[in-house]
């Protein structure tokens, strides 16, 4: 007698892994607060919180290339066509994009950080510019690395993207716990690197892996133009969304005290976790 195994639909696997991943990420962000406050102190954690607001801004560093590529992969799969050239073209363009933004951050970090972190000039002294620049580099690696996840979602293996994303945050949390329990003295910059650099590096490693596999694939000018045309609309939409949704960090950086910034951050983390659970229940 043959036993038939229950086959779970792929979209349910992706949805379930997405819920689990988001719960893990939200949990890590919430749990990290108490450890970071213990390591850095209230005032420096307030600076840390403001710098994490740059994460959303740096999601635009790929110029919408990731979403544009995801669209083309889906179209090619529907037509049973190869999309390797599109991936390789997108990775070339994303490399140019990150170089452009690194130069941009390097040039303007001094001016922007002096305004954004003006309330903490006495604490940071002459470290403001380098701290801001380092934060932008770390968060830009996450922004560019997100292209890897868009490729996986387009290939209908989004559960891998969710797994890698959750794993990267867990590694960052483990690094933070190691620092805390070992009693290692770290500053704001190193705390950011420990907690968030794994998030970018894991996805970037996957991008390098995909590029090596596509090394001999030929690309043409039309592939680059097609990616750029489609990406431009997504980039504009992302930019407008960021301006609308991230205005709060600009305001609190100038108006709130360190204690208020910490309270605001904790409240938003809790709200984010509760809101996700609520929406997940509705979707279910």
- Going residue by residue through the chain, which has 284 residues, state the pLDDT in tens, using 9 for 90 and above: 444 545 666 667 777 777 888 888 888 988 999 999 999 999 999 999 999 989 989 998 999 999 999 999 999 999 999 999 999 999 999 999 999 999 999 999 999 998 998 888 888 888 899 999 999 999 999 999 999 999 999 998 888 999 999 999 999 999 999 999 999 989 999 999 999 999 999 999 999 999 999 999 999 999 999 999 999 989 998 888 888 777 888 888 888 888 888 888 888 888 877 776 666 555 44
**Does residue 53 lie within any of the structural domains?**
yes
Q: Write out the residue range of the structural domain in which residue 47 sits.
A: 20-279
Q: How many domains does the chain have?
A: 1
**Does residue 2 lie within any of the structural domains?**
no
**Does residue 48 lie within any of the structural domains?**
yes
Q: Which of 164, 272, 132, 147 is nearest to 207 (CA)?
A: 147
**Does residue 25 lie within any of the structural domains?**
yes
**Does residue 183 lie within any of the structural domains?**
yes
Q: Which of 42, 22, 25 is nearest to 34 (CA)?
A: 42
pTM, entire model = 0.89
């Amino acid at each position: 007698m043959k036993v038939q195994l229950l086959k779970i639909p792929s979209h349910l696997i992706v949805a379930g892994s997405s819920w689990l991943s988001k719960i893990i990420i939200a949990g890590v962000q919430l749990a990290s607060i108490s450890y970071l406050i213990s390591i850095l102190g209230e005032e420096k954690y307030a600076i840390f919180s403001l710098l994490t607001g740059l994460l959303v801004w740096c999601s635009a560093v790929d110029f919408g290339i990731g979403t544009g590529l995801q669209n083309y992969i889906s179209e090619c799969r529907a037509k049973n066509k190869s999309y390797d050239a599109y991936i390789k073209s997108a990775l070339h363009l994303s490399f140019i994009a990150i170089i452009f933004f690194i130069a941009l951050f390097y040039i303007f970090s001094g001016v922007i950080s002096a305004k954004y972190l003006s309330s903490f000039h006495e604490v940071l002294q002459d470290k403001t510019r380098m701290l801001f620049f380092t934060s932008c580099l770390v968060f830009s690696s996450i922004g560019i690395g997100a292209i890897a996840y868009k490729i996986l979602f387009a290939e209908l293996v989004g559960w891998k993207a969710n797994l890698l994303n959750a794993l990267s945050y867990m590694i960052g949390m483990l690094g933070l716990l190691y620092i805390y329990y070992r009693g290692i003295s770290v500053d704001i910059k190193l705390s950011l690197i420990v907690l968030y650099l794994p998030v970018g590096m894991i996805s970037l490693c996957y991008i390098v892996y995909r590029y090596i596999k596509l090394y001999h694939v030929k690309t043409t000018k039309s592939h680059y133009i097609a990616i750029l045309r489609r990406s431009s609309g997504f980039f504009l939409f992302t930019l407008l969304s960021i301006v609308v949704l991230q205005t709060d960090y600009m305001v609190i950086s100038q108006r709130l005290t360190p204690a208020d910034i910490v309270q605001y951050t904790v409240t938003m983390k809790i709200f984010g976790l509760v809101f996700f659970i609520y929406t997940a229940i509705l979707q279910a």
